[in-house]
A = this chain, B = another copy of it.
C-alpha cells in the first residue's frame, strides 16, 4: 500500500488548497511564481470543482485542470488531486431530487451552499463514482499528481426514505433480524416495538425523547454509510493508481465520523485544524487534534487544512498574530505532522469564504502575513529530518466515537457532560503537566504505555473492558473518569449500573449518579464540577480526594484510579501527574515553565513558548537549534545563549537577542518563540 512517505519523500510538505477555477487563467502563472517563492511544495486542487469539471450531466471539461496541473508541474509544485464529490453541482439536485439531504423534520436541503448530498443516494453515488473514475483515468498518470484527496470533511446526514432502506439493510446485517433490533433498542419501553421492518426508519421529528439506541445505531450507520462512500471512491482510485496514497480530511473531534474506522481505510490520515485565535488555550485544543490524528494514523499524518490567520465561520473571527502562526505550524510538526497545508492559497474575492484568510491575502504579497508564510517556507526544510519519525509518548488516552454518541443523548443525567469538553479538560491537564499522549481506541493494544487515561467511556464493549482490565492486570496504570462502563454496545445499562469487572478493578460502585449544577467545594480546598456519585468503596480502596461533605471524589486501588467528578484544572493536573509519576511516565523535558511545550520526535526536541514572556529553559546537555542556523533571515524569536542571557534580555517583553552560540544547555525563548533542538 502507498503511504504518506510516498508523498513526502523526506520533505515536510508545505502548501494548501488551490482553487484556480475562481481566477482568470492569467493569474495562474503568478500563483505558481509566488508559490515557488514561498517554498510551497504541494497544493490540493479540485476539492470544489465538480460543476467546472462536469458542467452538465456526463459532459466533462477537463482541459482547464490539465492546464493547471501542467503549469504547477512546470513550476515544481506537486498536487494532491481531489475528487470533487463534496459539493455536487445544482444540476444533480435538479435531475435527482433524491440526492438532496432531508433533515429529521422533513426539510429538504437545497443547493446554493455545499454538502447537499445524501450519502445513501444511489444516484449520488453513481454520479460521484463516475466522475472519480473519469478523473482517475484522465489525471492518474499526470506527473504532478502525488496523492488523492477524496471528498471533504465528510459529514452529511440524511433522513430520507432511501436512507431508511439502507438503514434497514445495515440493521439486518448488524443484528440478523428484527427481533434482535427490537431487543437492542429496548423497544419494549414506550410501546416502540417494530412488528415489521417497514416501520424501522431513521429517527425523525417526534413528540418527546427519542429512542436512544435507535439514535446510536443511526449515528453508527451514518458514519458507516459515509465510509462506504469513501471506500467506493478509494477503490476506484486504487484501481487506476495503486501507487498513489489516498486520504480524506478529518476535523478535530469530528462528531459525524468514527475516525478510527475511517483511518483504517485510508493510506494517509489528514486533519483540518482551526484553533480559535480568541482562545488563550488554543494551542492546547490544537494539540488535542494533533494527538488524536496521530493516534488514528498510528504514525505521521498530514495537516490538510489550517488558517494563516482568521477564519470566516465563527461569530467573531479574530486574526492570528504571525508569531502564533509559526508556533502553531511547528507544534503540528512536533506532534507528528509530515506536512502543513492551508486553506487556501489565494484569498477568494467572492463566495461564502471570501473572508477566510489565505497564504496570499487580499492585501497581497507585501504584507506581514505573507512574509510570515515565506519565512515558514524557508524554515521547514531545516527540520525535514523529522519526516517519517515517531513522537515519543508513554501515556495513552482512550477515546471512542460510539461511546461519545451514546453519551450525548437527551434524557441523560446531565446535559452538562459532553465528551469534547471532558476530553479537552483531561488533555489540558496532561498538557499542563507536559505529558505527551497518544489517543487510542478502547480495544487497541495498550501494552506499550505506562499510563492509560479514560476521561469517559460511558459505552464500553466487553472487548474494551477486557482490554482495559488486562492492561491493568499486566501492571499498567489505569485512570478512569466517571460514568464509564455504564452501558453495553446497545446502550443498555449494565447490571448494577457499572460493569462488574471495572467495579472490581477500580474498587468502586456508584450507587447513584449525582450530577452537579455547578462547582462544589472539595475537602481541603478547591472545587470539582459536573458530577458526583454515591460511591461504595471496596476494601482497600483509598480516597485521594473528597468533597467537603465527605463524598469520595477520587480514589485509588492499587494502580487503578477513579475520578468520580471533574476536578478543577489544577487538581486534575495534579491527580494525573501523580498517577503518571507513579507509573513512570515522564515529560519530554523536566522543569518546564507553565505555557512552554516540549515534545520529542525522531530524536529532536521541539520546545515551544506559548507565553508572552521570554523564558529560560535548562536543557540536559548541549543542543543545536536547527532553526537558529537560518540566521538573520529568520527573524523568529528563538534565542539560545552560552550562559544565562543578559538580564535585560530575559525581562518579559524585552526584545530577544539572537543566539550567540546555538550549542549550549541553556535555552532562551522569546515570547511565542520556538526551538527545534538536536542533542550534540
> Provided the pairs A52-B188, A211-B351, A318-B515 are in contact, do residues A90 and B193 lie with their beta carbons within 8 angstroms?
yes
How many interface residues does chain A have, given as a range? 35 or more
Q: Is A209 an interface residue (CB 8 A)?
A: yes
A525 within 8 A of B: no
Residues of B within 8 A of A108 (CB): 106, 205
A524 to chain B, nearest CB (A): 20
Q: Tell which of A101, A191, A352 has the most Cβ of chain B within 10 Å.
A: A191
B208 A113 Cβ-Cβ under 8 A? yes
Instruction: Please name all residues of chain B whose beta carbon is closer than 8 Å to the beta carbon of A510 when the two chains form the complex.
Output: 363
Of A203, A350, A511, the most chain B CB neighbours within 10 A belong to A350
Out of B19, B209, B317, B493, which one reaches A362, CB within 8 Å? B493
| A210 CB contact (under 8 Å) in B113, B196, B211, B312 | B113
Known: A107-B106, A512-B309, A512-B319. A87 touches B191 (CB 8 A): yes
Q: Which residue of B lies closest to A20 (CB)?
A: B188
Q: How far is the CA of A514 from the CA of B316 in the complex (A)?
A: 9
CB distance from A466 to the nearest CB of B (A): 21
Nearest B residue to A207, CB-CB: B115
Tell me the bound Cα distance from A601 to B93 in angstroms.
Answer: 60
Per-residue B-contact encoding for A470-504, CB less than 8 Å = 1, 0 else: 00000000000000000000111101110000000
Partner pick for A317 among B196, B309, B413, B496, CB 8 A cutoff:
B413
Taking CB atoms, residues of chain B closer than 8 Å to A203 are 112
Interface residues of A in 198-220 (CB under 8 A from B): 198-199, 201, 203-214
Judged by a CB distance under 8 angstroms, whether A177 is at the interface is no
> Is B90 within 8 A of A199, CB to CB?
yes
Q: A552 in the interface, Cβ–Cβ < 8 Å?
A: no
CB pair A313 B90 closer than 8 Å: no
Asked, given contacts A89-B193, A211-B113, A362-B497, whether A512 binds B198 with beta carbons under 8 Å apart, the answer is no
**Is the beta-carbon distance between B186 and A348 smaller than 8 angstroms?**
yes
Shortest beta-carbon distance, A450 to chain B, in Å? Answer: 33
Q: Is A540 an interface residue (CB 8 A)?
A: no
Q: Which residues of B contact A191 (CB under 8 A)?
A: 48-52, 84, 87-89, 114
Closest to A93 in B: B199
Give A43 to B187 CA distance when docked, in angstroms: 21
Q: Which of A233-241, A364-372, A395-403, A644-652 contacts B (4 or more CB under 8 A)?
A: A364-372
Given the known inter-chain contacts A107-B105, A190-B48, A362-B497, please indicate yes or no for A116 contacting B206, CB distance below 8 A: yes
**Chain B residue contacts of A348, Cβ below 8 A:** 186, 189, 493
B-chain residues with CB within 8 Å of residue A106 when the two chains form the complex? 107-108
Query: Is A310's beta carbon under 8 Å from chain B?
Result: yes
B195 with A90: CB separation less than 8 A: yes
How far, in Å, is A106 (CB) from chain B's closest CB?
Answer: 6
A195's partner among B56, B318, B495 (CB-CB below 8 A) is B56
Contact with A204, one of B52, B112, B354 (Cβ below 8 angstroms)? B112
In the assembled complex, A436 has its CB within 8 A of some CB on chain B: no
Q: Is A353 an interface position by the 8 A CB rule? A: yes
For A201, the chain B residues whose CB sits under 8 A away are 110, 112
Determine if B492 and A110 form an interchain contact, defined as CB atoms under 8 angstroms apart.
Answer: no
Inter-chain contact A115/B52, CB cutoff 8 Å: no
Nearest-Cβ distance from residue A418 to partner chain B, whole angstroms: 12
Q: Contact between B319 and A195 (Cβ–Cβ < 8 Å)?
A: no
| Chain B proximity of A83: nearest CB distance (Å) | 12
**Who on chain B is nearest to A533 by CB?**
B319
A23 to B536, CA, bound (A): 26
Within 8 A of B (CB), among A389-428: 410-416
Are the CB atoms of B186 and A112 closer together than 8 Å?
no
Q: B111 touching A192 by the CB < 8 A rule?
A: yes
A-B contact pairs, 18 of them (CB 8 A): A22-B186, A90-B193, A103-B205, A107-B205, A111-B199, A114-B190, A114-B207, A208-B352, A209-B353, A310-B513, A315-B415, A315-B416, A316-B416, A319-B512, A354-B493, A355-B412, A361-B497, A363-B510
